[in-house]
Amino acid sequence: MVPSVVLTHCNVPACPAVERLRYWDGSYQEPRSQKELLGSIFPEGIIVNNPEVVQIPGYQVGTWNADPIHSEIGFSVRHMMVSNVRGRFADFEAIVTTAENPLNSTARAAIRVASIDTGHDTRDTDLRSSGFLSVDEYPEMMFTSTAIRMDGDAYLVDGDLTIRGTTKPITLRAETGGIGPDPYGFTRAGFHITTEINRSDFGITGNVLIEGGGVVIADKVKIEIELQMVLQKN
């Protein structure tokens, strides 16, 4: 039998297999060695000098655009040192270009900063000002991927994030929710993505001190993204 799902990541000759083989009848087999695992995937006579195999059910090569109605770019920040305030950016674009090897795929995103929404108009106006995001001078945040790695069942997407004209390297942790057809003839893929940044790294330093210690707005920003991507038809 040929396994339906194989997920391994190996850059050295003797590294162990990291996943089991799953067969179409639902049974599992623990691979006894990396050599045996590769022997079950590749026919005899094919030499793999750098075994790095990622097979994903439903995976397709092409260009995928984010469905903005079913996607969200959210964040949370500690407020008054006691609780979290959550917000989102409502206007954005995200594009993923998948390659034959998923780890060679690329991703990029553009976020219109003025679309920030924390559920409070006065606060949002303040966040758009020069003391924080300075949306008139820097209307967009940009992310461009530079590499993709595996971390168990998740993907680590390294890339450059630009906010207020400052570019810093970050790593996104992306978990797939699955790939499949919709009722309208398109193929969709879901991703749950998380990361953390320090806003001061990007020149966002506005704050107020609290009497007795602490600040009103924390430096650390937690980012949580839900993306539903749609494969574009040629």
pLDDT 10s per residue in the chain (234 long)? Answer: 433 333 434 444 334 433 444 434 444 444 444 444 434 333 333 333 334 557 788 999 999 999 999 999 999 998 766 668 999 999 999 999 999 999 999 999 999 999 999 999 998 999 999 989 999 999 999 999 999 999 998 999 999 999 999 999 999 999 999 999 999 999 999 999 999 999 999 998 876 665 666 667 788 999 999 999 999 987
Last residue of a domain, one of 39, 55, 71: 55
Task: Kindly state whether residues 24 and 118 are assigned to the same domain.
Answer: no
Q: Say yes or no: 39 and 69 in one domain.
A: no
The answer to whether residues 44 and 74 belong to one domain is no
Domain identity same for 211 and 99: yes
Specify whether 14 is located in the same domain as 85. no
- Residues 222, 177: one domain? yes
Domain identity same for 79 and 10: no
- Is residue 68 domain-shared with residue 48, that is, in the same domain? no
Residue that is last in its domain, among 55, 75, 101: 55
**Are residues 77 and 171 located together in one domain of the fold?**
yes
Question: What pLDDT was estimated at residue 14?
Answer: 39
pTM: 0.75
Q: Which long-range contacts (CB under 8 A, 24 or more apart) does 109-116 make?
A: 109/66, 109/142, 109/143, 110/140, 110/141, 110/142, 111/73, 111/140, 111/141, 111/142, 112/139, 112/140, 113/89, 113/138, 113/139, 113/140, 113/141, 114/139, 115/89, 115/90, 115/91, 116/87, 116/88, 116/89
Q: Which domain holds residue 120?
A: 62-231
- One domain, residues 7 and 121: no
What is the pLDDT at residue 113? 98
Structurally, the chain folds into a number of domains equal to 2
Residue 46: predicted pLDDT? 34
Give the pLDDT confidence score for residue 212 in this predicted structure.
66
Residues 219, 110, single domain; the answer is yes
Whether residues 78 and 174 share a domain: the answer is yes
Show which of 14, 40, 55 is a domain's final residue.
55
How far apart are the C-alpha atoms of 109 and 181, rounded to whole Å? 24
